[in-house]
Amino acid sequence: MFRFLIKRVLLGVSTLFAISVTVFALFFMGPADPAASMCGTKQCTPVQHERITTFLELDRPPHEQYASYMRGIFVGRTIGGDSPDAIECPAPCLGINFRTYEQVSTVIGRTMPITFSIVLGGAVLYVLIGTGLGMLSAIKRGSIFDRIASGTALTFASTQIFFIGSVLLLVFVYQTDLLPLPKYVPFTESPLGWLGGMIVPWIALGLINSAQYARLSRAQMIETLSEDFVRTARAKGLAIAPIYFRHALRAAVTPIVTIAGLDIGGQLGGVAITETTFSLNGMGRTAVRAIDEANLPVVMGIVLFSAMFLVLSTIIVDILYSVIDPRVKLGTSGGH
C-alpha cells in the first residue's frame, strides 16, 4: 500500500512537472506580447513598454523565467527585482496577474470557491439522482418507469450545457422569475443566497450528467441482483430493502465512485463552458479570459491547479477502490 502510494505520487508529480513545462513552452511559441497588451495600444510609449518588460522579467530567456517561476512556488520570490515598487510574493508564489498586478494565488483563492460550489453541488445532485433512478429502474426492470427513466436520461445527456443552461435561464429566470439569477454569494455570508444563486447551474449539470450514473448503477444492480448471494439473502427471508441497500447497492458503488471521482476531479479545475453560460467568474472562465490577454501566470496557475486535481483524483479513486472492495490489491495489478 505504502509503496504503491509513493509510486503513484511520484508519477503524478512527474506529470505535473511535464505539464508546467509544456504550458510555459506553449506561451513562448505563441504570438502574444504580454507587455504590449498590458500597456495598451494607444498611449504605449517605448519607454513604458521597456519598463513593463523588465519589471516582469519578460526579457529573460524562457528557461530562466521558468526556473524563477518554479523557485517561486517553493520558496517565494520578489517580482520586479530592484525596482522601487517591487512586489513581494510569498512561498506558494504562482506569479502575478500581468494585468492587475494581483497575485495569482489571490486570483485562484477568489475564483476557486465559485468553481467548487458549482461542481460539488452539481455532483451531489447528479450522483444522487442518477444512482437513485438507476436503482429504481433495475428493481422495476422492463416496466414503464424503467423505459421512461432511461429515455429521459439519455435525452438530457445528449444536450449541451450551453444550450440547456440558456433555455433554463430564459424560461425560469428571465421570463417567469421562478428561479433566481445565477450569481455567487459566499456561503458564510448568506447560506440561502448561496443556494439560490447556484440552483440553476446545479439543475443544468444534474440534467446533463445524471444519465451515465443512472445507466451504470442500473446495469450494476441488475448484475448483482442476479447473483447467488442475493438469492441466498432472499431465501433466508430477509426484507427486500436491506437486500437492495446493503447487498446490491454496495456492489454497484465501486464503479460509480470511480466515475464520480474522475468526473469531479476533472471539473474542479474549472468548468469553463458552464461558467461562461451562467456568467460566473470561476476558475475556468477566468483562465479563458487570461488566455485572450496572454496572461501567462494566471493560465499557468489555473492549468497546474486543475491538472493537480485530476492527478489527485485518480490516486484517491485507486485508494477508495481498495477500501470499498477488499478484493482489489493495490500495486499488483499494474497500476491501472
Partner 1 sequence: MSDFVPRQTDSATDVLEVAPIEETAKAPKAIVGKSPGQLAWFRLKQDRTARSTIWVLGFFVFIAVFADVIEWIYGIGPTVNSPDLLDTTGQPLGYLGGIDFTTDNPSGHIHILGVMPATGWDVFMQFVYGARTSLIIALLATVISVIIGIFIGTLAGYFGGWIDQALSWFTDYMLAFPFVLMAIAVIPILNTRLEDETGYVTVYERVATIIVVFSLFGWMYTARLVRGQVISLREREYVEAARAAGANSWHIMFRQILPNLWAPILVTFSLSLPATVTAEAALSFLGIGVQQPTPDWGRMINDSLLYMRSDFMYLVIPGVSIWALVLSFNLFSDALRDALDPKSSR
Binding site for partner 1 (CB under 8 A): 11, 14-16, 18-19, 22-23, 26-27, 29-31, 150, 154-155, 157-160, 162-163, 166-167, 170, 174-175, 266, 269-270, 272-273, 276, 284, 287-288, 291, 299, 302-303, 306-307, 310-311, 314, 335-336
Considering the complex, state which of residue 29 and residue 47 has its C-beta at the smaller distance from partner 1: 29
Quote the least distance from Cβ 223 to partner 1, whole Å. 10
Considering the complex, state which of residue 232 and residue 333 has its C-beta at the smaller distance from partner 1: 333
Task: Give which of 211, 313, 203 is closest to 268, Cα–Cα.
Answer: 313
The DSSP code sequence of 219-257 is: HHHHHHHTSHHHHHHHHTT--HHHIIIIIIHHHHHHHHH
Quote the least distance from Cβ 191 to partner 1, whole Å. 30
Q: Report whether 5 contacts 331 (CB < 8 A).
A: no
Quote the least distance from Cβ 132 to partner 1, whole Å. 19
Q: Report whether 61 contacts 67 (CB < 8 A).
A: no
Considering the complex, state which of residue 51 and residue 289 has its C-beta at the smaller distance from partner 1: 289
Considering the complex, state which of residue 21 and residue 230 has its C-beta at the smaller distance from partner 1: 21
Considering the complex, state which of residue 10 and residue 86 has its C-beta at the smaller distance from partner 1: 10
| Distance in angstroms between the alpha carbons of the first and the last residue of the chain | 15
Instruction: Say how far apart CA 315 and CA 308 lie, in whole Å.
Output: 11
Quote the least distance from Cβ 277 to partner 1, whole Å. 8
Quote the least distance from Cβ 2 to partner 1, whole Å. 21
Q: Report whether 119 contacts 271 (CB < 8 A).
A: yes
How many residues are given for the chain?
336
Q: Report whether 314 contacts 265 (CB < 8 A).
A: yes
Can you tell me which residue has the cell 455567487?
184
